């Protein structure tokens, strides 16, 4: 029997293994605590190394983007495609945030969403300005409890969980980005590939941190799902900073509406 080998990391497999390992450690109770301590310490060390990498990353990103520009056969066509990609992401975020979410709020709560949204103005501005669902969490809970009169027990239970796993905008952005990269590479995607990208983008968004541009890290998992090189993420770095403020809005908005 012949096996098929794919060059690259199996990020989706690593995520599944990590979840399984976490459940097993939790089930072992005291016996699993030493291993949990090791992973906690490892996480702290990795975060320190990541901080060092972030400080020198602008130099690396410059050369990565330069490499992709040199490889392009037609720079003008690629710039046009990047523009369409940028508009597509913003259009998707607009439809999700200003049409689908208000419609769902009206259907389930039986009220118009305008007053609720107006009362959340400070939280929305904070989420947009910081591009982080975690940074806007205290302001969101304050607006929910003081202006929309949501029970603190509900807001303080739902919002922290939502800020961690509910990344609507990131899932949408990663799916569109993966399809865009495939098109730039001339890769034809079938219905199965589109479905795989959708599932992988959803899982990647759940694992993404609530910080600016965290989706670029989990994007690797989405690209690996359909066999695209992970270094193709550099194709979208040039325009990613333009819309990452908008990406954080749908997720935080849906969390706030869920509390009502």
pLDDT tens digits for range 81-126: 788 888 888 888 888 888 888 888 888 888 888 888 888 888 888 8
**Rounded to an integer, what distance in angstroms lies between the CA atom of residue 22 and that of residue 125?**
36
Percent of the chain with pLDDT over 90: 2
Confidence of residue 252 (pLDDT cuts 50, 70, 90): low
233 — alpha (psi -120 to 50), left (phi > 0) or beta? alpha
Mean pLDDT of the residues in the chain = 78
Confidence of residue 65 (pLDDT cuts 50, 70, 90): low
Minimum mean pLDDT among 50-59, 120-129, 184-193: which range?
Answer: 50-59
Mean pLDDT of 189-215: 77
Instruction: Write down the pLDDT at residue 19.
Output: 82
202, pLDDT greater than 80 = yes
**Rounded to an integer, what distance in angstroms lies between the CA atom of residue 105 and that of residue 134?**
23
C-alpha dist (Å) from residue 27 to 20, 48, 149, 208? 11, 29, 38, 25
Instruction: Write down the pLDDT at residue 9.
Output: 58
Which has more confidence, 53 or 24?
Answer: 24
b/e 59-94 (16+ beta carbons within 10 angstroms → b): eeeeebeeebeeeeeeeeebeeebeebbebbeebbe
1, pLDDT greater than 50 = no
Confidence of residue 38 (pLDDT cuts 50, 70, 90): very high
Confidence of residue 186 (pLDDT cuts 50, 70, 90): confident
Minimum mean pLDDT among 2-16, 97-111, 142-156: which range?
Answer: 2-16
User: Which residues have a Cβ under 8 Å from the Cβ of 237 and sit 6 or more positions away?
Assistant: 61, 64, 65, 216
Instruction: Write down the pLDDT at residue 255.
Output: 66
Instruction: Write down the pLDDT at residue 82.
Output: 80
């Amino acid at each position: 029997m012949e096996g098929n080998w794919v060059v690259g990391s199996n990020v989706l497999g690593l995520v599944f293994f990590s979840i399984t390992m976490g459940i097993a450690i939790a089930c072992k109770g005291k016996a699993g605590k030493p291993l949990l301590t090791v992973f906690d310490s490892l996480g702290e060390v990795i975060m320190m190394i990541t901080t060092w990498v972030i400080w020198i990353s602008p130099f690396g990103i410059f050369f990565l983007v330069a490499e992709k520009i040199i490889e392009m056969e037609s720079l003008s066509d690629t710039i046009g495609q990047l523009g369409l990609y940028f508009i597509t992401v913003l259009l998707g975020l607009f439809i999700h945030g200003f049409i689908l979410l208000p419609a769902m709020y009206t259907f389930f709560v039986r009220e118009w969403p305008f007053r609720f949204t107006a009362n959340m103005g400070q939280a929305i501005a904070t989420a947009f300005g910081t591009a982080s669902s975690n940074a806007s969490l205290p302001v969101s809970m304050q607006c929910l409890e003081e202006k929309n009169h949501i029970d603190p027990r509900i807001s303080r239970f739902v919002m922290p969980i939502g800020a961690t796993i509910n990344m609507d905008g990131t899932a949408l952005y990663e799916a569109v980005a993966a399809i865009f990269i495939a098109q730039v590479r001339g890769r034809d995607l079938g219905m199965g590939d589109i479905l795989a990208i959708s599932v992988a983008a959803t899982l990647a968004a759940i694992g993404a941190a609530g910080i600016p541009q965290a989706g670029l890290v989990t994007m690797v998992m989405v690209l690996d799902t359909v066999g695209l090189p992970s270094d193709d993420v550099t194709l979208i770095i040039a325009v990613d900073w333009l819309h990452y403020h908008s990406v954080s809005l749908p997720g935080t908005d849906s969390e706030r509406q869920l509390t009502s």
